[in-house]
Chain A
Amino acid sequence: MKTRKTEYRFLMPAIVVVAIMTQFPFLLTVIFSTLRWNLSRPDLPRTFNGFDNYLYFLKIESLQHIPEFYSILWQTVLITGVTLLLCSVVGFILALLLDHEIPGVNIARTLMLGPFFVMSTASGVIWKTTIFNTTFGWYGVIAKALGATPVDLVSYHPIGVIIVLFTWQWMPFFILVLLAGLQGIPQDLVDSMRIDGVSWLQGVFKIKLPLIMNHMRVAIMLGLVFLIKEFGLILVTTAGGPGTRSYTLPYAVYMQVFSANNVGRASALAVMTVVLTLILVNLLYRSIVKRNARYS
Chain B
Amino acid sequence: MTTIVGAGHAKPSRGAVSMRPSAIVTITILFLALLGIAIVAVTVGAAGIPLARLPAALGFSTTDATDAVLSRDQLVLWSIRIPRIAAAAIVGGLLATSGAIMQGLFRNPLADPALVGVSSGGAFAAASAIILIDSSFGESLRFMQNELLPMAAFAGSLVTTFILYGIASRSGRTSIAIFLLAGLAIAAIANAGLGLLVFIADDRQLRDITFWLLGSLSGATWAKTATIAPVLAIGLIACLSIGRGLDVLVLGESEAFHSGVNVERLKRISIVLISAMTGVAVSICGVVGFIGIVVPHLLRLVIGPGHRLLLPASALLGAVLVVGADTLARTIVAPAEMPIGILTAAIGAPFFLAILLRQRGLAGL
Q: Do A and B come from one complex?
A: no
Binding site for B on A (CB under 8 A): none
